Every structure is written in structure tokens, then in C-alpha cells.
């Protein structure tokens, strides 16, 4: 065994200079004398020049096998290897990696080298002009082959005192340059760390560092190569060695080679089969040693290589685009501070999915700086996919801008785009849309004068009752035009209250309507009223004529046949020939909810049934301005103590309900207490009431008499408006404290006037109320739909000497010869009247005489009418006091008396009988004067109906402040 090891070591020493390094195994390379640094564009590139790995396109695999110095009898020397080059990207952007392993074997000794390398092109294209740089990490392992030991081998032999194997590492580098298609240059450095590959690691077998540089010339007829090698250590100090070789190809498949260096001469041949997707080839080289004993014994070396070249996968087409005209900014015209939605369609017109593609959204500001509007968005988009990108954006400044959307752009060099995808067309990567941002409209309005002095003034405000009845002549169906005023008011209210319907009931009189079919006469009268009210603007689909379920011959004014006074009997017959108007809700809009109270309790606790209708109440009141919510408490007839409890329960329920509904609905919730034996007294019902459509009195005209103005009435209202987006329309008006328009000074489209002259009068030409405050109001709508609303400081009429106001409010209208109101709406209106009285009193600028005045018509004995009017007045006075205690949250009647005295109010009741038919003052805008109108004319049935009234007449006198 010892003899075999000795022979092996001698052989290694002999051949060491001949085969150089264990990894240089390519048959093609060694067939050209080892001059391969400038041509190593195959799978063996990691071993010959790592810089060449990224200089060609194909993926390459090489399998090598060698037998050394055939003829040696004491051992069989051989070598095998595999090497592979992989490009990391189809577009060759990220470099290439190489891996190789070479193993030398003999009977008793082996040596292996593992190589890992990376190369990156610094310039140019693979298979074209380029510069590429690469580096390797190498791991060496040397050892004895224990399988070759003889049975008599002694493990303690001194030859193996340092072990049977060793492992070391090293590094290598290389560069490949091809300035043109016929010239290439390669250089490299090996064994940079000069590793000691000996098993003993005693420094006796350090590999010298080698630097090699080669030049290759690719002529049409031959490819000569020359390479110079410098070794830091060499036998006989021959540090420089030359490698010379040449290759001649025949066609595209066969090549012959020859080479020479100091240690050997070589001949080789190769064959390659080219394919569309992959190619393969075989190279063979025979090497004859020079200048050693080996050459004398003709011990030749033979090498063979199998090469596999795989064509790179086709580079996928990559093309990202913003779909033409797909970029939108909605809305495209906005007011500064509003949000827009930027939308763009992005299409992947390429062949592969694109991941983490940056999308930029940007614009150019007024200073011509390019600004990213939003952070970069990264998207994933499949091949052929079109996605819609939507982003919210609030423009920071006003102006006209173009918003750009760019795909595959990091926004670092705007407006130039730069991303990570190499596209076939980058001209379609940007889309745009325009946007206009405007300032909100701004402006001011202010009158030159804020006060108009009036030395004395007398003001009348008298409500006009609505009597929803049309009366007819004997046997007639003709609707007299005197009823058009009432029907027009009802028609207008019905139009603006879409959830309310009108029902008409016709009647005839038994004594005067002597026709063959009086019932048909009654129905025909209702039909004629329907035609007339529709002609005045009422919606026909919500008007019906009732034909059953009631008595068309029912008397409205008692029994005429029992009346002995001819005049009164005639009047009673007149009131029976009629059509009565009534209203209620359309189907599904009505409801009735209740709250049950515990015994002796006035606090609402069981509110579930009412609570579920809260949204319905809001909806009804929002859609119908005449709808009110009634909260009704009940007591047994004659039970005054129970009536007080019922009122308090209704009041407490109303307070709870107002809190649930919200403040804007407070004034439309009314309480009512009634006597009813059919309803348990511990229950309170809540339900909507639409009767304001036909019963709410018409708003009173303000009629001024006997007034004197100090100075000039003309007042200039100055306007300063700045409308960036342009004026669409405008309105200049005078409004009161409740925002009601009392005068439109100017309105229209186009330019807003700078000033408007005004005479302190309302739309009807009346001087403004001295008891109210007013404001000049400017409204401008710009072309963006934005609205400017601004008001001036307070304007008012100041009475310098004496001012008087006489205000009449209709409390209730009664049925013929009774103290029963015509409707729940009118009966609950006492609360509204009480509120008005409190409002006047709390100004503390008046002495008020509040008279609850009862009246009757002229039918019947005068003494009886006088007594009836007193009963009506007292009844309503008691109700007003009760409601005032509730609204003012006072304890009792004594507290109310103190409050009235403190606020200079005298409140009392008086009955007038038939002596004062209802007369009001109306303002005539044509004559600019007040007119006295007798609407309670007892010669007409509707006039007599008006006279069956109770009104609150407030006489307020304002004295000049001392």
C-alpha cells in the first residue's frame, strides 16, 4: 500500500505541470491550447472567465470528461465535471449566475472544486457589443481514496499523520469585452487567495495566483486566439506562458481546432446541431505533452465535452397604457375645498402580468412647478386586463389645471415618466383631464341707513277666517264667484301639501230646493265645486265627491220649519243649500298612536306606540306645511278635575314628543283636551291633523293709518359681490327675523348691481312693521351651483312719539247656536293665539289690552245671542289662560296674574252678540291704501258663519322711551 501511495504522489508531481488546474476541463478550450478567456461563451464560462457568463443569451450546460496520460500502468487518472450558466431575467437585466463542479480521480487520490459565480453586464447587449464583469467563489477539497487502501495498510503510517483530506476556498474574477462583432477580449485572475490544496496544509502545495488575458479574432475563414498567462510562482521561474490556438468551422456544424502552450500541443474537433429551441454539440481534444518524460513515453491526454444550449424564452411584450380619453375628473368644475374623483382606465396590452406597477397623478401649479397630487399608487394588472383606478382628491388652490395620470411612473422626474417596465410603447402611458377650481362666492350687503324715524303710527293686523263652505241659491248648482277667493286659497294649499286629499259633500234644503231629485241636486252642486276648484289650480287626483255615508238633506242651521220669524227662517234655509269641504290624508299616511298612563300619574312612561311613528311625523310635516300633530287628552263629560289631569297629561306628552322630534318641529305640536266617554281617561292619543288646509285663517295684511315719516324714505342698499365662477342668478331682498321675504328689491341673471334704492316698504307697498326687525339679504348662485347668502345689520322703523297696533286673531268659529267649535284644528288653535299674546307681551315695549271677544250671527233673539257670545268668550278666555300657564311653565292662575301685571297686559273677555259683524282692513297694493271690508255680512250665509266667532283683539300702544 505504501508503495502505491508513493507512486501516486510521483505521478502527480510529474503531471501537475501539464494539466494546470483541475477546473480547466473544456475540450474546445484545451483543443486551442487553453487560449479561451476571450471565447468562453458556453457552459464552461464559470471555470475559464466568469465575466463572460452575462455576455451571451443562451442558457448553457456543459458535461466534461478527461483521461490523463493513457499508458500509465500503476494508476488510472481521470476527471469529470459539470458546469451551468443561468441568466436571471428574460431581458438580461439582472445578470447571470454560474455553477460548476469538477472532480479529479485516481485509485488512491481525489480532488474536487465547486465554483459559484455571478456576472453582470456593465454595458451593451448579450451576443453583441458589451462589457461584462464576473466573480467566483471556489471551494477545494483534496483527499486520499480509502477504497484503494490494501488490507495490510497501517492507519498509523506517518504519511497520513495530518489526516486523509483537506478543504480550502478561494476567489476568482474576470472581465469580458466585445467592442465589435469580430473582436473580443477576456481577462481573469485565479487563485486570488493562493489556496493550499495539500492534505497536510503545510504550505507546500499552494496554488499560485494566475492572471490571464486573451484576445480573440473572429474572421470569416478562421478564429485565431492568443492568451498570455502570468503566474506568481512557476517551475524554473517561467512565470509567463503563452497560449495560442485557432478554430476553423465548416458550415455551421463542424469545427476543427489546434493549439499550443509551453506544456502541450493539442488537436480538436467539434460538432454542433442547431435547433430552434435548443442546440447540442460534442467537442473532442487530444493533448500531447511537451518537454517531459511523459512525452517520451507518448502518454497522451484525451478530453470530451457535451454542450447543451437552450435558447432564451422569447422576451414577452410589455406595454401598459392609459386608455385613450379614459381619464376623468368628476366633477370637472368645483369650488375650492370640494372633493373630486380622479378616474382612469389602465390597460395591460402586454403578454405578462405586471406587479407593483407605480401610477402617478400630478399637475402643474401656477408657478409652473410639477406637483404630485397624490402618493404613488402601486397596482397589479393581468395581461389583457383593463382596470379602473379611482382616487379622491381635494385640490389645494383655485385655478384651471390639467390632471395627468401616468402608469409605470414613480413621479421622480415630472413631467418625464420613469418606471420599471421596459415597454414597447411608452407614449401611451399618460392620460389627462382638465379641472377648474373656483373660489366660493363672496360678498356683502349693507344699507346706507339702518333706521327710519316715524313720529306716529297706527297699525292694523286682522286675520281673515277661511269658511270652507260654498252656498247656493234655491234649486241652483251655479258656484258664485264670491267664493273664488276661498277656493283659490284652498287650491293653493292643497297643491303644496301632497299627502292631503279634499272631499266635497253636497247638500240640499228640504224647504226651498223643490226638485224631482234633490239628492242628485246635492251631488251636482259638489261636482260643480270640484270643477271650479280644479280650474283654480287644485290637483284633480286628490279631490273626490262623496256620494254615500251621509245625509244630503241634513240641516246645518237648526230646524227652519220651527222658526217663526220669516227673516231668520229664510237665513236658515240659505245655510242648508251648500257644499262642505273637508280634508284628510291620502291612503297610508294617517296614523293614531296612544300612551297609557298609570293611575294618578301625569308622566308619560309607556311611549313605545308613539315612538315608532316619530319618523312618520317628521316626514309628514316635512312634506306638508299645513300638517300639525295633535296630542289629545280625555276626560268624562262634566269631570272638571279629570279635565285638568287630562290637559296635564297631554301637555307632558307634548313636551316629550317635542324632544323626540327636534326643535324645528316644536311649533307644530299642539295639545288639546276634550270630553269623551268612549275613550279611557288614562289614555292620550297622538295623531296628525291636516285641517289647516281649509281652516287656517289667511295671514293678516298690515294696514298703516295716520303715520308721519321724519326725513327721506329713500335708502340705498349697497352691494359688493365677488363671484369667481360667474353669476348664474341673484336675488336682493328684505327679510324679517324669521327669514320671511317681505320685499324683493332685485332678482335676475347676469351682473349683480352695486346698489339698489329702497323706500322702506314691503312687496305690497306697505311701510314695514315698527315692531319688527329687518335685514337686507343678498343671495347669489354662481355657475358652479354654489350659493352666497349674506345679510346686513339690523334695520328697523323707530317710532319717535307714539305707536299703536291693533291685532285681531281668530281663535275659533262655532257651529250654529252652539258653543262647539267647527273642527279640532280651530279648537286647538287657542295654543297658537296664546303664543302670539306671550310674544307681544315679552317685548316689554307695550301696554296691551287683550280682549277675548265673542260674537254671533243675527239669527235668533238678540238677548239670546248676547248671552251665547258671552259664554263663548268666557270659555275661550279660560282656555287661553290654561295654555299660557302651560307655555310659560307657571304654577297656577295666581302666577299667571302676576306675569300679566308684570308685562303690562290686561286680559279679559266680553260678549258682543250680533252687534259687531266681523270687519277687517285689507291693503290694496294698487291704490296703496287700506280698505275696510265687511266679511261678516249677515245677509250672506258665509258672513253669518264668520260672525259665529271668538277673536283675540290685542290693542298695543308703544310709548316713546323717556
State the architecture of 320-438 in CATH terms: Sandwich (2.60)
Residue with cell 472581465: 175
pLDDT at 87: 93
User: Block means of pLDDT (10 residues each) for the chain, length 962 residues?
Assistant: 43 42 82 94 94 95 92 82 92 92 86 95 94 95 73 61 79 96 95 86 83 94 94 83 95 94 94 94 94 78 95 89 95 91 95 93 92 94 95 92 94 91 89 93 92 80 88 95 94 95 95 93 96 95 94 87 81 91 91 90 90 93 93 90 90 93 92 87 92 88 76 87 90 92 91 90 83 91 88 87 75 59 77 88 82 87 88 89 90 91 91 90 82 89 87 77 46
Question: Do the domains at 2-70+77-149+164-310 and 442-461+698-797 have one common CATH topology?
Answer: no
For the record, the C-alpha cell of 595 comes out as 300612551
Please answer whether residues 831 and 881 qualify as being in contact, where contact means their C-beta atoms are separated by less than 8 angstroms: no
Please answer whether residues 137 and 101 qualify as being in contact, where contact means their C-beta atoms are separated by less than 8 angstroms: no
pLDDT at 19: 38
pLDDT at 148: 60
pLDDT at 4: 44
Per-residue pLDDT tens digits for 859-879: 888 888 899 889 889 988 998
| CA separation for the pair 82, 307 (Å, rounded) | 10
For the record, the C-alpha cell of 101 comes out as 463542479
- Residue 552 backbone zone (phi > 0: left; psi -120 to 50: alpha; other: beta): alpha
pTM: predicted TM-score of the whole model, two decimal places: 0.56
pLDDT at 816: 54
- Residue (of 731, 773, 777, 774) closest to 750 by Cα position: 731
Whether domain 466-585 has CATH 3.30.1330.60 = yes
| E-state strands within 191-331 | 210-217, 223-231, 240-250, 254-260, 264-273, 278-289, 301-310, 320-322, 328-330
What is the phi/psi pair of residue 642, to 5°? -65, -35
Please answer whether residues 645 and 675 qualify as being in contact, where contact means their C-beta atoms are separated by less than 8 angstroms: no
Please answer whether residues 95 and 117 qualify as being in contact, where contact means their C-beta atoms are separated by less than 8 angstroms: no
| CA separation for the pair 842, 438 (Å, rounded) | 47
For the record, the C-alpha cell of 336 comes out as 375650492
Locate all alpha helices (DSSP H) within 562-712, ordered by sequence: 566-576, 608-611, 614-623, 640-661, 692-695
How far is the first Cα of the chain from the last one, in angstroms, to the nearest whole number? 143
ω before 415 within 30° of 0 (cis)?
yes
pLDDT at 818: 52
For the record, the C-alpha cell of 876 comes out as 275661550
Q: Using CB atoms within 10 A of its CB, is residue 53 exposed (0-12), middle (13-18) or buried (19+)?
A: buried
Out of 3.90.1150.10, 3.30.10.20, 3.40.190.10, 2.40.160.60, the CATH code matching 2-70+77-149+164-310 is 2.40.160.60
Longest Cα separation, the chain: 171
- Residue 945 backbone zone (phi > 0: left; psi -120 to 50: alpha; other: beta): alpha
Where are the chain's structural domains? 2-70+77-149+164-310, 320-438, 442-461+698-797, 466-585, 590-696
Helix (H, G, I), strand (E, B) or coil at 648: helix
- What Cα–Cα distance (Å) separates residue 262 from each residue in 71, 131, 227, 639? 22, 30, 12, 140
| CA separation for the pair 148, 421 (Å, rounded) | 59
CA angle 855, 861, 865 (to 5 degrees): 20
For the record, the C-alpha cell of 640 comes out as 272638571
Helix (H, G, I), strand (E, B) or coil at 491: helix
| CA separation for the pair 369, 397 (Å, rounded) | 14
pLDDT at 810: 77
Per-residue pLDDT tens digits for 426-476: 889 999 999 999 999 999 999 999 888 887 777 778 888 888 999 999 999
Following DSSP, what letter does each residue of 515-534 receive, concatenated?
Answer: -S-HHHHHHHHHHHHHHHHH
What is the torsional sign of CA 747, 750, 752, 754? negative
DSSP type of residue 209 = P
| CA separation for the pair 661, 656 (Å, rounded) | 9
Q: What contacts 237, CB < 8 A, 6 or more positions away? A: none
| E-state strands within 368-473 | 370-372, 377-381, 386-393, 399-407, 430-438, 442-447, 451-464, 469-471
| CA separation for the pair 122, 553 (Å, rounded) | 112
Whether domain 442-461+698-797 has CATH 2.40.240.10 = no
| CA separation for the pair 128, 144 (Å, rounded) | 46
Q: What CA dihedral angle connects 704, 707, 708 and 714, to 10 degrees?
A: -10
Please answer whether residues 385 and 431 qualify as being in contact, where contact means their C-beta atoms are separated by less than 8 angstroms: no
Residue with cell 265645486: 529
- Given the DSSP bridges, would you call strands 328-330 and 683-689 parallel, antiparallel or unpaired? unpaired
pLDDT at 12: 46
For the record, the C-alpha cell of 888 comes out as 310659560
pLDDT at 315: 84
Whether domain 590-696 has CATH 3.40.50.300 = no
| CA separation for the pair 174, 176 (Å, rounded) | 7
Residue with cell 270640484: 530
- What Cα–Cα distance (Å) separates residue 253 from each residue in 56, 273, 279, 308, 660? 19, 6, 11, 14, 97
Amino acid at each position: 500500500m505504501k508503495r502505491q501511495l508513493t507512486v501516486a504522489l510521483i505521478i502527480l508531481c510529474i503531471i501537475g505541470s501539464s494539466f494546470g488546474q483541475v477546473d480547466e476541463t473544456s475540450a474546445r478550450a484545451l483543443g486551442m491550447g487553453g487560449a479561451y478567456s476571450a471565447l468562453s461563451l458556453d457552459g464552461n464560462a464559470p471555470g475559464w472567465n466568469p465575466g463572460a457568463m452575462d455576455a451571451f443569451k443562451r442558457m448553457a450546460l456543459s458535461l466534461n470528461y478527461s483521461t490523463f496520460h493513457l499508458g500509465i500502468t500503476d494508476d488510472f487518472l481521470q476527471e469529470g465535471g459539470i458546469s451551468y450558466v443561468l441568466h436571471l431575467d428574460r431581458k438580461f437585466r439582472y445578470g447571470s449566475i454560474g455553477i460548476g463542479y469538477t472532480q479529479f480521480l485516481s485509485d488512491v487520490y481525489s480532488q474536487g472544486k465547486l465554483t459559484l459565480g455571478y456576472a453582470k453586464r456593465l454595458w451593451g447587449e448579450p451576443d453583441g457589443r458589451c462589457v461584462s464583469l464576473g466573480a467566483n467563489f471556489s471551494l477545494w477539497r483534496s483527499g486520499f481514496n480509502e477504497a484503494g487502501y490494501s488490507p495490510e495498510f497501517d492507519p498509523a503510517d506517518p504519511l497520513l499523520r495530518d489526516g486523509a483530506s483537506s478543504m480550502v476556498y478561494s476567489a476568482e474574477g474576470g472581465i469580458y469585452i466585445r467592442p465589435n462583432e469580430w473582436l473580443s477580449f477576456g481577462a481573469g485572475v485565479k487563485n486570488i487567495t493562493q489556496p493550499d490544496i495539500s492534505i497536510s496544509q503545510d504550505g507546500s502545495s499552494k496554488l499560485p495566483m494566475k492572471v490571464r488575458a486573451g484576445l480573440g479574432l473572429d474572421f470569416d475563414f478562421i478564429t485565431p486566439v492568443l492568451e498570455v498567462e502570468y503566474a506568481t510562482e512557476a517551475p524554473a521561474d517561467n512565470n509567463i506562458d503563452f497560449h495560442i490556438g485557432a478554430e476553423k468551422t465548416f458550415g455551421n456544424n463542424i469545427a476543427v481546432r489546434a493549439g499550443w502552450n509551453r506544456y502541450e500541443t493539442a488537436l480538436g474537433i467539434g460538432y454542433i446541431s442547431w435547433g430552434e429551441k435548443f442546440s447540442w454539440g460534442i467537442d473532442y481534444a487530444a493533448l500531447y505533452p511537451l518537454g517531459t518524460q511523459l512525452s517520451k513515453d507518448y502518454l497522451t491526454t484525451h478530453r470530451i465535452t457535451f454542450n447543451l444550449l437552450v435558447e432564451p424564452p422569447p422576451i414577452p411584450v410589455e406595454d401598459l397604457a392609459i386608455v385613450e380619453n379614459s381619464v376623468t375628473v368628476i366633477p370637472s368644475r368645483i369650488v375650492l375645498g370640494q372633493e373630486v374623483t380622479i378616474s382612469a382606465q389602465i390597460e395591460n396590452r402586454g403578454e405578462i402580468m405586471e406587479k407593483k406597477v407605480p401610477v402617478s397623478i400630478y399637475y402643474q401649479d401656477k408657478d409652473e412647478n410639477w406637483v404630485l397630487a397624490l402618493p404613488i399608487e402601486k397596482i397589479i394588472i393581468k395581461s389583457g386586463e383593463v382596470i379602473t383606478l379611482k382616487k379622491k382628491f381635494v385640490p389645494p388652490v383655485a385655478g384651471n389645471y390639467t390632471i395627468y395620470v401616468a402608469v409605470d411612473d414613480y413621479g421622480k422626474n415630472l413631467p418625464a415618466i420613469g418606471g420599471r417596465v421596459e415597454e414597447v410603447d411608452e407614449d401611451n402611458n399618460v392620460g389627462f383631464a382638465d379641472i377648474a377650481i373656483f373660489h366660493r362666492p363672496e360678498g356683502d350687503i349693507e344699507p346706507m341707513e339702518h333706521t327710519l324715524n316715524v313720529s306716529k303710527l297706527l297699525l292694523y293686523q286682522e286675520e281673515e277666517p277661511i269658511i270652507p263652505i260654498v252656498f247656493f241659491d234655491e234649486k241652483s248648482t251655479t258656484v258664485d264667484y264670491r267664493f273664488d277667493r276661498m277656493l283659490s286659497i284652498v287650491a293653493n294649499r292643497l297643491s303644496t301639501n301632497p299627502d292631503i286629499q279634499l272631499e266635497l259633500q253636497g247638500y240640499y234644503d228640504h224647504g226651498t230646493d223643490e226638485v224631482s231629485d234633490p239628492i242628485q241636486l246635492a251631488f251636482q252642486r259638489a261636482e260643480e265645486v270640484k270643477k271650479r276648484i280644479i280650474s283654480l289650480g287644485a290637483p284633480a287626483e286628490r279631490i273626490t265627491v262623496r256620494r254615500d255615508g251621509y245625509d244630503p238633506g241634513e240641516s246645518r242651521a237648526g230646524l227652519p220649519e220651527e222658526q217663526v220669524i220669516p227673516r231668520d227662517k229664510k237665513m236658515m234655509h240659505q245655510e242648508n243649500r251648500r257644499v262642505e269641504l273637508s280634508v284628510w290624508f291620502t291612503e297610508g299616511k294617517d296614523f293614531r298612536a296612544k300612551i297609557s298612563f298609570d293611575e294618578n300619574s301625569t308622566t308619560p312612561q309607556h311611549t313605545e306606540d308613539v315612538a315608532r311613528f316619530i319618523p312618520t311625523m317628521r316626514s309628514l310635516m316635512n312634506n306638508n306645511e299645513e300638517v300639525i300633530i295633535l296630542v289629545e287628552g280625555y276626560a268624562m263629560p262634566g269631570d272638571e278635575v279629570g279635565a285638568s289631569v287630562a290637559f296635564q297629561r297631554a301637555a307632558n306628552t307634548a313636551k316629550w314628543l317635542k324632544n323626540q322630534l327636534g326643535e324645528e318641529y316644536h311649533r307644530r305640536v299642539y295639545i288639546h283636551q276634550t270630553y269623551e266617554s268612549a275613550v279611557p281617561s288614562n289614555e292620550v292619543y297622538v295623531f296628525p291633523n291636516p285641517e289647516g288646509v281649509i281652516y287656517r285663517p289667511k295671514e293678516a295684511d298690515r294696514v298703516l293709518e295716520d303715520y308721519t315719516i321724519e326725513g327721506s324714505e329713500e335708502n340705498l342698499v349697497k352691494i359688493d359681490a365677488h363671484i369667481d365662477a360667474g353669476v348664474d342668478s341673484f336675488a336682493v331682498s328684505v327679510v324679517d327675523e324669521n327669514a320671511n321675504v317681505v320685499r324683493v328689491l332685485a332678482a335676475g341673471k347676469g351682473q349683480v348691481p352695486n346698489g339698489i334704492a329702497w323706500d322702506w316698504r314691503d312687496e305690497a307697498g306697505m311701510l314695514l312693521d315698527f315692531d319688527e326687525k329687518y335685514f337686507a339679504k343678498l343671495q347669489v348662485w354662481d355657475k358652479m351651483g354654489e350659493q352666497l347668502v349674506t345679510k346686513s345689520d339690523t334695520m328697523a322703523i323707530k317710532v319717535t312719539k307714539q305707536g299703536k297696533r291693533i291685532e285681531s286673531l281668530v281663535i275659533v268659529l262655532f257651529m250654529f247656536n252652539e258653543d262647539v267649535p267647527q273642527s279640532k284644528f280651530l279648537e286647538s288653535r287657542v295654543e297658537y293665539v296664546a303664543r302670539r299674546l306671550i310674544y307681544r307681551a315679552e317685548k316689554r315695549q307695550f301696554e296691551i289690552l287683550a280682549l277675548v271677544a265673542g260674537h254671533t250671527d243675527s239669527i235668533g233673539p238678540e238677548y239670546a245671542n248676547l248671552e251665547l257670545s258671552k259664554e263663548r268668550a268666557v270659555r275661550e278666555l279660560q282656555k287661553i289662560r290654561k295654555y299660557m300657564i302651560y307655555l310659560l311653565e307657571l304654577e297656577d292662575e295666581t302666577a299667571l296674574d302676576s306675569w300679566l301685571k308684570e308685562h303690562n297686559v290686561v286680559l279679559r273677555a266680553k260678549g258682543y252678540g250680533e252687534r259687531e259683524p266681523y270687519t277687517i282692513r285689507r291693503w290694496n297694493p294698487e291704490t296703496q291704501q287700506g280698505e275696510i271690508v265687511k266679511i261678516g255680512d249677515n245677509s250672506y250665509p258665509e258672513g253669518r258663519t264668520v260672525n259665529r266667532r271668538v277673536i283675540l283683539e290685542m290693542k298695543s300702544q308703544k310709548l316713546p322711551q323717556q
